[in-house]
Amino acid sequence: MIISDNRPIGVFDSGVGGLTVLKELQNLMPYENIIYFGDTARVPYGGKSAPVIQRYSQEILDFLLMQNVKMIVIACNTASALALNKLKTLTSLPVVGVIDPGVRAAVKAVKGQKIGVIGTKGTIASFAYQSRLERLCSKIKVIAQACPLLVPIVEENMHNTDLARLTIDTYLKDFKTLQVDTLILACTHYPLLKPLINEYFDKKITLVDSAQETAIEVKELLAARRLVADTEKIGTERFFVSDSPDIFREIAVKFLGRELAGECLHHSWTD
Ligand code: DGL
């Protein structure tokens, strides 16, 4: 009987944003090995259609399976919204997205009856959050808003600027008026905007960080399926990207607050 498993966890995102999830996975499970794929040549996923996101996600899944991973974490809200169900049909390994953990945490946290969700156009239009929230709790009113400009603001290192404040005000005004008390940050980039969003709401709103909630779910799943690594050595990290590893390394520092420890290699389907 298998009681432990030292194979890596396979994590993927459209680019660097999923590093917010990798960071939480490592915080909670420092002994796990991780292989991360960032589809930097095809980012952003946020405005692309479901068939395209499903094709990209399937290609990345095949790549990660070849790396002999023990489970898959879709560390991207857009891919979780549009491709999770499809990927689950393509492998017998556990596949976890970022949506269900965020939804469960929001339902636990909400005090009134209104939950806000912000994400990319694709995530919001897919209705993935809205339908799950309404299924879990029919009394909850969900107010959802696509905030496409927030991703480039974070990527351009402008997440602590007046431009970011103005954009937050433009997108989040209605949440204030409607007195939403819990807001799901349904995009990998938004955890970097937490300080500004908290400031905007005078800290009177609960922010649900899908990255943290996903790490908790992954930890529970590994324990339940006896897939936890049995080593006391800090886990390794390896990165693959579909565009330049150098550019990825540079931006990654912003998301992780440190340099990448592991190697970062290029992998592409078109070469
Ligand atoms: N990773 C994406 C998400 O969480 C944001 C960036 C993109 O649009 O690709 O939805």
* CB of residue 212 inside a 6 A radius of ligand 1: no
Residue 120 Cα: closest atom of ligand 1: 10
The reply to whether 9-98+212-266 and 99-210 are identical in fold is: yes
In tens, the pLDDT along 197-229 reads 999 999 999 999 989 999 999 999 999 999 999
Q: 123-167, pLDDT tens digit by residue?
A: 999 999 999 999 998 999 999 999 999 999 998 889 899 999 999
Candidates 73, 91, 81; CA nearest to 26 is 73
- Would the pTM count as exceeding 0.85? yes
76 is known as an active-site residue: yes
Mean pLDDT in the chain?
Answer: 95
- Cα–ligand 1 centroid distance for 101 (angstroms): 17
- Asked if 120 contacts 47 with a C-beta cutoff of 8 angstroms, the reply is yes
State how far the Cα of 249 lies from the Cα of 208, in Å rounded to an integer.
Answer: 27
User: Nearest C-alpha to atom 1 of ligand 1 is from which residue?
Assistant: 76
Q: Cite the DSSP H helix spans in the chain.
A: 19-28, 50-66, 77-90, 99-109, 121-126, 128-136, 150-155, 162-177, 194-200, 210-224, 245-256
Instruction: Provide the residue ranges of all domains of the chain, joining segments of one domain with +.
Output: 9-98+212-266, 99-210
What pLDDT, on the 0 to 100 scale, is given for residue 269? 78
Does domain 9-98+212-266 fall under CATH 3.40.50.300? My reply is no
Ligand 1 neighbour 44 (Cβ under 6 A): yes
Name the nearest CA neighbour of 70 among 96, 93, 37, 36.
93
- What is the best residue among 43, 98, 159, 210 to mutate for testing ligand 1's pocket, by most ligand atoms within 8 Å of CB? 43
Q: How far apart are CA 130 and CA 124, in angstroms?
A: 8
Q: How far is the CA of 18 from the centre of ligand 1 (A)?
A: 8
Q: Among 3.30.70.580, 3.40.50.1860, 3.10.110.10, 2.60.40.1120, what is the CATH number of 99-210?
A: 3.40.50.1860
